Amino acid sequence: MMNRSNQNGERGGSKLSLLLTIVIVGALGFTAVKIVPVYVEAYQFQDSIEAESRFALTGYPKKSVDDIRDDVYKKAQELDIPAKREDIHVNVTNGSVEIGTDYSVPIDLKVYQYTLQFHPHADNHTI
């Protein structure tokens, strides 16, 4: 009989821990759904400006600074990157191309809001 009274005192503990686990996993999943796509887009944007910096001067006719800026801005729009055209910095000197910009993405987690800052930069300098 003593065993049975001990079990009654612990009754419901597993249900509570299961519920707590489900809430935590759900919150982590929700946060991941909000944040991971932003980082994937940032990675894709970084990759595209690296490619643009490498190949901007290889075609004929060579691209102007405005052409490079327009291409980078178009890619930003495709990826829903909130960069403004005028904030994309392009520097072309002596066969060297540097591209950079700064942008931020607000993240709304319903109970907490914060902003992710990104500073993509690329150049075609040899290593």
Residue 110's pLDDT is what?
A: 86
Note the pLDDT of residue 58.
Answer: 82
- Determine the pLDDT at residue 50: 92
Q: Encoding tokens for residue 87?
A: 């904030």
Give the integer Cα–Cα distance in Å for 70 and 46.
Answer: 16
Query: DSSP secondary structure string, 12-56?
Result: THHHHHHHHHHHHHHHHHHHHHHHHHHHHHHHHHHHHHHHHHHHT
Residues of the chain predicted below pLDDT 50: 1, 5, 127
Give residue-wise pLDDT tens across range 82-100: 999 999 999 988 888 999 9
pLDDT at 127: 47
